[in-house]
Amino acid sequence: MLVPRQRTPDLKLPTLEHGTFDLSSETSERGTVICFYRGLHCPICATYLTEFQKRVADFAERGVGTIAISSDGEDRARDMAAKIGADTLRFAYDLPLAKAREWGLYISTSRGKTSIGIEEPALFSEPGLFMVTPEQSLYYGSVQTMPFVRPHFSELVGALDFAIKNNYPARGEYTGAV
């Protein structure tokens, strides 16, 4: 389980247009928002990533980098980026499922073609949204068992404003006896 204020797993993946993404080398002042998505087969992911794309500048204004990541290969990642009209959102691909598990993501098996007629991969990770500090510690995390009811990016931007103004720490860090 990932723990706030503790180091996250390393993450180094190819991207579509930005070379290699290496979380340990990110240079954003306040960290990086990482959105793990299910893949091209998921119509809800396309809608969600469209909203993420619209908020890239909002995050950048607050000193926060952004990236969308899936276990899809390069072609499917490129198709998703084109589908949502991504022009500023970075896309990484080829996420190993063992790495997805390190991040606490759930893994699902294929059920064939989705409602939009695209075949699901044999195995793929379910969604997760994380904010990681420049020191690569977990600030915020949300993982899901299915594609529905995801955190809203507008709320995350508002929460960042509050956190920045009030120097609000990451919460959920206690791991002792209860």
Q: What percent of the chain has pLDDT over 70?
A: 100
- Mean pLDDT computed over 120-144: 98
Strand segments (E) across 50-116: 64-69, 90-92, 107-109
- Mean pLDDT computed over 72-94: 98
In the chain, where are the structural domains located?
12-166
- The reported pLDDT for the residue numbered 127 is 98
The CATH classification of domain 12-166, taken from the options 3.40.50.10440, 3.40.50.720, 3.40.30.10, 3.30.230.10 = 3.40.30.10
- The reported pLDDT for the residue numbered 53 is 98
How far apart are alpha carbons 143 and 163 in whole angstroms? 21
Q: Band of the pLDDT at 129, cuts 50, 70, 90?
A: very high
- β-sheet bridge partners, residue 65: 32
Q: Band of the pLDDT at 36, cuts 50, 70, 90?
A: very high
